[in-house]
Amino acid sequence: MSCNRKAFAVRAAGAAALLAFLHFVSVPAEPRYPLCAYHWLTGRPCPLCGLTRGIFALAKGRLHEAEHFNALSPLGFAMLFSLFWSRQGHALAWTRLWAAGIAAFALYGALRVAVV
């Protein structure tokens, strides 16, 4: 097995293991203990509030539930799983995904703080 094939197999196995974990493990809809210091201090959601619950919901195929937790959950899901893709030959697409994702989360956070 060539080095590239081994690396691909390791990344694919990692992505599959993460997807299985997200699918078979459930997190409560309302966290028992607040983990977000910003939300705890201000009572307002930060750009990332609900993202973990949204990603778990997406792995179970529950898009509406994921969007309820955090509207950018699908983007966060894509960004998370992009970590398993090789950047070799795809560096520009990977960089664009992450740059656009970070910009989207910043804008979403500004809207959440201003509107919600």
CB nearer to Zn ion: pick between 46 and 59: 46
Confirm or reject binding of residue 39 to Zn ion (CB under 5 A).
Answer: yes
Closest CB 40 distance from Zn ion, rounded Å: 9
Confirm or reject binding of residue 113 to Zn ion (CB under 5 A).
Answer: no
Count other C-beta atoms under 10 Å from residue 51's C-beta: 20
CB nearer to Zn ion: pick between 39 and 60: 39
Distance CA 49, CA 90 (A): 30
Distance CA 33, CA 60 (A): 23
Distance CA 90, CA 94 (A): 6
Confirm or reject binding of residue 49 to Zn ion (CB under 5 A).
Answer: yes
| C-alpha Rg value of the chain to the nearest Å | 16
Closest CB 49 distance from Zn ion, rounded Å: 3
Count other C-beta atoms under 10 Å from residue 101's C-beta: 17
CB nearer to Zn ion: pick between 65 and 94: 65
Confirm or reject binding of residue 44 to Zn ion (CB under 5 A).
Answer: no
**Site residues (CB under 5 A) for Zn ion?**
36, 39, 46, 49
